[in-house]
A and B are shown apart, each in its own frame.
Chain A
Amino acid sequence: MKRALAVLVALASVVSSVPVGAAPLAHREVLPNGIVLLVAERPAVPIVAVRVLMRAGAVYDPADRAGLANLTGAVLTRGTAKRTGPELDSAIEFVGGSVEAGAGRDSLTVSMTAQKKDLALGLDLVSEVVLTPTFPEAEVARKVSEIQAAIKRSEEDPGTVAARALGRLVFDGHPYGRPVEGTRDSVGRLTRDDVVKFYRERARPDTTVVAVVGAVTVDEARREIMARFGSWARPADPPVAVAAAAAPAAAREETVKRELTQTTIMFGRQAIVQTDPDYFPMAVASYVLGGGSASRLYTRVREESGLAYSVYSWVAPWRHGASFAVSSQTRTAETPKVITMIREELARMGREPVAERELTLAKQYLIGSFPLRLDTSGKVADFLVAIEDRGLGLDYADRYKERIGKVTAADVQRVAAKYFAPAAFSLVVVGETK
């Protein structure tokens, strides 16, 4: 979960900033069977990164089958009509490439990286994995015990424990409230039939996004993708809809006892998705509060008080909901002090306008750092499938820059007053508790 969270947070930060007057990021077209194909040519380095994003994330897990999407992703590369899992590993690793699959909250993504000379092999493997997975019984059983062991081990990581508990409090009643990887019990109940049924129902061309980025032309990418995915038939029935997350009844607090020298403190609440106009002031507000090493929390909790090594806040927008969180780790004895400081700084964001200097720094950072976030083919491919899946459009880049540029101190205060009121946050504390 920690890794999944980190990836989502990273993705959020990628999605939330955009190029300054850049050329279109990619070519986009819809193939006859509904696949959205995105191609970005980066000819300088002879490698290609491919992503196939399917709408088959944990948000579609049945309530009594938490962890199903995650298990499906884990077993997807473990056998196809043509190859066993080990044969597939050997084939791609022999050329120094990689084929991976994994599910997050919203989607299940197959990722491939290879040198240009090995593109045909890489795409063959990706198409076998997507179109003809066999989900062998023995491989399902292996992954079930592996995932159960990984969940057990993650219980020793306070950040993961806190994030899991917070997710449950913040998204109570919505699939986002359940851990992507499930629980040891829920995963133990999953069967091969569950996996096969889930994948059959969820994987379909008309909700699939394919990004091909690197030393490849648009024509070549279209030809190679069509040759492998062109005959993937679109089902007659419409894709399943997911309900947006409803706000939970009330903020709650939870403590989890662990024999540790520090406590992990995590505040969280639901926030807003990227299609909401308030998302832009929200992004600026979060940056001012706890985004970087010039932020208010970093300055007060770390620089001035020496109370923590890590303290930060972040907005995590997904497709059907979003969260805003603040986290820190401090020595056990100082836990109440750090909690108080975070509450005070949250409240201050809504009570008084941010200083011009803070506002400018946040806006210039969010706008100016964009090119750094898209500096490799892999990062560009991740970005492209994410903005397509969330319906943000290829012009999101320019829009974002423009919107962030227009955010005023009054906007930040208004959004903070609405979303940063401390009483609305749930709180999880992991560590030695009195």
Chain B
Amino acid sequence: MIHRPYTRRRYNRTVRIAILPLLIVSLLAPSAARAADRVVAATLDNGLRVLLLEDQRSPIVSFQLWYRVGSRNEHRGSTGIAHFLEHLMFKGTSSHGPKEFARLVEQNGGQNNAFTSQDVTSYYVDIAADKLDLVIELEADRMQNLLLDPKEIASEREVVIEERRTRTEDDPGGFLGEEVSSIAFKAHPYGAPIIGWMDDIKRVTPEEIRAFYKSYYVPNNAIVVAVGAFRAADALEKIKKRFGRIPRGKVPPPILAVEPTQNGERRVLVKKQAELPIVYMAWHVPNHTSDDAVALEVLSTILAGGRASRLYRDLVYQRQLALEAGGDNAYFSLDPNLFWFWATPMPGQTPEKLETELGAHMERLKTEPVTDEELARAKNQIEAAFVYQEDSIHQRASLLARFELLGGFALKDSFLAKVRAITAADLTRVARTWFAPERKSVGVLVPKS
């Protein structure tokens, strides 16, 4: 835990954008197909979805609660409210005081954290399996009984502001990513930062936070996932007994905004204290509901999955134009989102040059089929990552949740089959379909001299 406070209550997007290209593979990888057979799934009378998977290798359990709410559910003027609430979920209930959650988890040898993304807010506790009762009690309690004391809100507001300074104001990559998202979306809330605009964080009232909590923190808007050393039947009984007391809430309001088709390239130029420039390019692409989404995943692996990938081998290795270069698709996004490209030019190289080169890679995909070796490698990488995920109970639980959010945890079983069916022609087709110049948003950060 010594190194963890750093990432406490991180929010997802910056992390995804900042990390190595290979992450795409790990984000992608669900539990192996065979695991799905053993998942015990139930929906309680109050609508709470429960997924349980026994894993007896170590005497530990990963217990996760995923709420279907993120920055996607926010409105102009009150951005950041989902993330702010995530912080406040650690600030006490009527039966457990403000610091009790962390204290109880830690003194029972457990680790806990949470993150907010565009689509979800997720809480986890990894702990000795015989502490499952405690975790069920704590999570059920704060689903219903959060205090939201105005004094705690006032002090935590300052913490969130500091978090924004660390992640955005003082971080060139975070700052530019926020700018590009905001020009890429003009109607859909994906254009606003997960952490919220600074003025919104400063303004949002305890009443608004309370209303947000009441709307979205209801059993029929949540998924419990647990993987570990328990008997699934016992765990389900315990969950039913405790969470079953919480009344079903109103169905949360739907997201009505639909992003209109982009009709022309958009760009933003940022000057900021930094050592090297950064280039981001983002295209609107479909999400998992489209037949093209799996092909886009394979394509992003070919472009950015490892040192044999195209962007690394050409831009970083062979021509040494970039210190790093990568790409990332948005397969798991609940609404259509962005396919990101990024590069950091080497000293002496310009962002214009890197933008041209990234664009050339995209054009090449439209005209020239990928090689058999590239296609096979990408598929093998995705498949191997499935297997690696099996090693960690925490990752097994997270990936069940991710597929459940898309419509059902069993979707992960058909995912690999879809990956294997992708052809080189599919990749050419999706590149032509989705990577049109007029659907592109470009951000360039130039170091302030």
Contacts and interface: CB of A to CB of B under 8 A. Distances in A.
Q: Which of A145, A293, A305 has the most CB of B within 10 A?
A: A293
B221 to A, nearest CB: 26
Interface in B274-321: 274-276, 305-308, 313, 316-317, 320
Interface stretch (B243-251, B389-397, B403-411): B389-397
B334 to A, nearest CB: 27
Interface in A336-382: 360-361, 364-365, 367-372, 374-378
Contact of B381 (A44, A96, A142): A96
Contact of B126 (A365, A367, A372, A376): A372
A365 B109 contact: yes
B216 interface: no
Top 5 closest pairs, chain A to chain B, by CB: A368-B109, A96-B384, A306-B158, A309-B163, A293-B102
Contacts of B392: 375-376
Given A93-B377, A145-B320, A372-B60, A330 B388 contact: no
B103 interface: yes
Interface stretch (A128-136, A151-159, A230-238, A385-393): A151-159
B42 interface: no
Given A152-B347, A156-B273, A305 B1 contact: no
Interface string A4-35: 00100110110010000000000000000000
Given A98-B306, A149-B276, A293-B8, A329 B166 contact: yes
A424 B162 CA distance: 29
Interface in A139-166: 142, 145-146, 148-150, 152-156, 158
B156 A94 contact: no
A47 B387 contact: yes
Given A294-B103, A309-B165, 8 more contacts: A46-B387, A115-B384, A260-B170, A292-B5, A331-B165, A361-B107, A368-B110, A372-B109
Contacts of A329: 162, 165-166
Contacts of B157: 306
B323 A89 contact: no
28 contacts: A9-B3, A16-B2, A47-B387, A86-B313, A90-B373, A93-B381, A94-B308, A94-B380, A95-B380, A95-B384, A96-B384, A149-B346, A152-B347, A156-B172, A262-B165, A292-B1, A305-B155, A306-B155, A309-B165, A309-B166, A312-B6, A361-B106, A368-B109, A369-B111, A371-B59, A372-B60, A374-B58, A375-B394
Interface in B18-51: 22
Interface residues of B, number: 74
Interface stretch (A67-75, A190-198, A295-303): A295-303
Contacts of A314: 2-3
A45 interface: yes
Nearest to A118: B384
Contacts of B385: 96
Contacts of B170: 158, 260-262
A211 B155 CA distance: 47
B209 interface: no
Contacts of A367: 109
B323 A310 contact: no
B383 A369 contact: no
A173 to B, nearest CB: 27
> For this complex, into which size category does the number of interface residues on chain A fall?
35 or more
Given A156-B172, A261-B170, A86 B308 contact: yes
Given A86-B313, A294-B106, A375 B393 contact: yes
B202 to A, nearest CB: 12
A142 B2 contact: no
A371 B106 contact: no
Given A45-B391, A95-B380, A365-B106, A310 B276 contact: no
Given A96-B384, A152-B276, A369 B166 contact: no
A95 B99 CA distance: 47
Interface string B333-349: 00000000000101100
Contacts of B162: 262, 306-309, 329-331
Contacts of A361: 103, 106-107
